[in-house]
């Protein structure tokens, strides 16, 4: 089995990013979500390397040893996609397959939208490609989902990062393995006078795919670097909408795949399913949705074997 190594690489945009990497060959970029790090791809790095690829998982802007500025407006989708695209020449490659999970998925979709010449193929895990809407995202959320929707709770600087950092092992046990308490029509709504973590029951036992060592790793990472910068990604939702006006109704041209868990509330909901029904309109080379049974939101960690096989098959078919 290939070994994972780490180093600091300066992206073409100037940000010095910690990367985890394994193998050699065509480049595959693996972009993590919230609140994670390169570590969420630990199973894919070695599998892709053994299959003949140079697999690279960075700590993205604001995370882990990469860090980043404190200013909220430095975390727009143009910054995030620029960081990922800037790694391609920095790693000596002409093009890459870009894979993203959770928040990493919108970054991956935008790399393919903005620079299709650099992206051989794109894979999203959990989050489908969503076209730019006609209204500011937070306005739409308030109208459709109410003020208690968790992404709106994340908009205010201070409360969310303080809550998440209070007891790190409990935070990650709840987020990664807890059962969600949904309000309204199956929505993650922050209770009045409560916080985001009140949406989850703490598990009595960890699932097979998650260990105490995994919890300890995430706790150490976020204990050192905090949650404020990662939460700034959410605080740019409206700014992203403004900045991407030039790409309204633009198409994502590279070949594309979505991998999702059947129990993942992010994608297994009416709004996401409606978007998927129209996906070929704005992603003409969209190949398929691979639905993973008995799988929740933490796709590549919960089902590494199936995800590895799907990624390798997709890349070999390009």
Q: Per DSSP, what are the bridge partners of residue 18?
A: 8
Q: Crossing angle of helices 168-177/212-225, nearest 10°? A: 120
Strands of the sheet containing 96-101, edge to edge, are 5-10, 16-22, 54-58, 27-31, 96-101, 119-125, 256-261, 286-292
In DSSP notation, 90-103 reads: HTT-S-EEEEEETT
Which phi and psi (to 5°) does residue 282 adopt? -115, -5
Among 59, 83, 102, 264, the active-site one is 102
Q: Per DSSP, what are the bridge partners of residue 257?
A: 123
C-alpha distances out from residue 158 to 33, 141, 221, 228, Å: 20, 21, 19, 8
Among 32, 54, 101, 297, the active-site one is 297
Q: Which helix (H) or strand (E) holds 48?
A: helix 42-50
The answer to whether the CB of 42 falls within 8 A of the CB of 4 is yes
**What is the pairing mode between strands 256-261 and 200-201?**
unpaired
Q: Of 15, 39, 17, 34, which is closest to residue 234 (Cα–Cα)? A: 34
Residue reference for tokens 């594309």: 256
Q: Per DSSP, what are the bridge partners of residue 289?
A: 258
- Told to judge if 297 belongs to the known catalytic residues of this protein, a careful annotator would answer yes
Half-sphere exposure of 39 (CA within 13 A, CB side): 19
- Told to judge if 54 belongs to the known catalytic residues of this protein, a careful annotator would answer no
Catalytic residue numbers, as ranges: 102, 297
């Amino acid at each position: 089995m290939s070994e994972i190594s780490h180093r600091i690489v300066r992206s073409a945009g100037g940000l010095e990013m910690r990367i985890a990497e394994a193998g050699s060959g065509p480049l595959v970029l693996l972009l993590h979500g919230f609140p994670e790090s390169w570590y969420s791809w630990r199973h894919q790095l070695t599998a892709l390397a053994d299959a003949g690829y140079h697999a690279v998982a960075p700590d993205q802007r604001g995370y882990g040893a990469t860090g980043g500025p404190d200013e909220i407006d430095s975390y727009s989708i143009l910054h995030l996609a620029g960081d990922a695209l800037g790694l391609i020449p920095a790693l000596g490659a002409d093009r890459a397959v870009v894979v993203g999970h959770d928040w990493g998925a919108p970054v991956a979709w935008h790399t393919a939208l903005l620079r299709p010449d650099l992206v051989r193929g794109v894979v999203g895990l959990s989050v489908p490609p969503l076209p730019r809407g006609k209204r500011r995202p937070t306005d739409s959320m308030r109208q459709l989902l109410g003020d208690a929707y968790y992404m709106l709770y994340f908009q205010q600087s201070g409360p969310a990062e303080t809550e998440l950092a209070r007891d790190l092992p409990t935070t990650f046990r709840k987020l990664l393995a807890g059962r969600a308490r949904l309000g309204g029509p199956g929505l993650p709504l922050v209770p009045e006078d409560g916080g985001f973590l009140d949406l989850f029951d703490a598990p009595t036992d960890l699932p097979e795919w998650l260990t105490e060592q995994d919890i300890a790793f995430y706790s150490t990472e976020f204990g050192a670097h905090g949650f404020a910068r990662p939460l700034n990604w959410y605080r740019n939702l409206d700014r992203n909408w403004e900045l991407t006006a030039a790409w309204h109704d633009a198409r994502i041209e590279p070949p594309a795949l979505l991998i999702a868990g059947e129990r993942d509330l992010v994608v297994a909901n009416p709004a996401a399913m409606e978007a998927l029904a129209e996906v070929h309109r704005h992603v003409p080379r969209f190949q398929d949705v691979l639905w993973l049974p008995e799988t929740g939101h933490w796709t590549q960690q919960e089902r590494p074997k199936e995800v590895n096989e799907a990624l390798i098959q997709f890349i070999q078919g390009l």
